[in-house]
Amino acid sequence: MKNFLLTLCTIGGLQLSIASPLQAQSLTEQQQRELSEINTMLSANPMLINSMHQGLNNYLVQKTKKDAFLAENQDWLFNNSVHPVMGNANAAHQIIVFTDYDCPFCKRLEPELEKLIEKYPTIQVINILVPLRQQQPAGAKTSSALLALDLWLSDKTQFGQAHQLLMKKSGLHTSESLRHISTSTGNDALLTASAESQQIVERNMAVFTGFGLRGTPAIMIGEQVIPGFVPYPKLLEIAEHEFSLR
């Protein structure tokens, strides 16, 4: 699995992505042109060099930390059967989506992801459940994330229906909506969250915050990390580019 470029360095309105020495040997024509323009601007404005140098050093330090954090959590994200998935289990390409069943933008993203998988069955979506909007509804002994995980872990054949119901609910989930979903799928016994699902959510939240993410949805696709809702045309464009699908 590739390393992800998690951030860009912005200094004085100039946005740069840092290439490794190996990448620098194969710069595109556009990159060569932009690098030449940067050198010209710095030569004409030497007072910027010190802040640029410090900013790049800071960027590289942060990137090194984030790369190490990704390596530490690589298996947790990409090679772990505890996370609900959409699409072919043996798909060649994986997209990570940090999602919350109480998040309106996550619910808007769901059909866009479904369309992407329908067009490209070689893509699999891995859902990392992070209950940011609310930890647990009043009067409930579980949450939307915990219920979904317990359903996934206990009966994957029922998960698809529950997932759709969880995503279709307008607004925040309540103890009543969770009970309706568990009853609809014949899983009332899961209305009390298991210790395993609670541990999974805790680890998910730690990884989410460790990446410096602040809101859902957040999408890891190829070498990009994209915060917020992404409409299907843009999602398709990014996937085709990152996975060389065209």
Instruction: Return the pLDDT at 89.
Output: 85
Of the chain, the end-to-end C-alpha distance in Å amounts to 20
Give the number of other CB atoms < 10 A from CB of residue 60: 12
Quick: pLDDT tens for 158-213. 899 999 999 999 999 999 999 999 998 888 999 999 999 999 999 999 999 999 99
- Which stretches of the chain score pLDDT less than 70? 1-25
Bridge-based pairing of strands 85-86 and 14-16 is unpaired
Half-sphere CA count of 85, side-chain side, radius 13 A: 18
DSSP string, 104-116: HHHHHHHHHHHHH
3-state secondary structure of 3: coil
Three-class SS of residue 221? strand
Asked whether the CA dihedral 115, 107, 74, 195 is positive or negative, the reply is negative
Strand partners, 99: 129
Helix then strand count (H, E) for the chain reads: 9, 7
**What does the pLDDT read at residue 75?**
94
CB-CB contact of 101 with 170 (8 Å): no
At 99 the three-state DSSP class reads: strand
User: Residue 25: what pLDDT?
Assistant: 57
CA–CA gap between residue 45 and residue 51 (Å, rounded): 12
**Domains of the chain by start residue, with CATH:** 9-73 (no CATH), 85-242 (3.40.30.10)
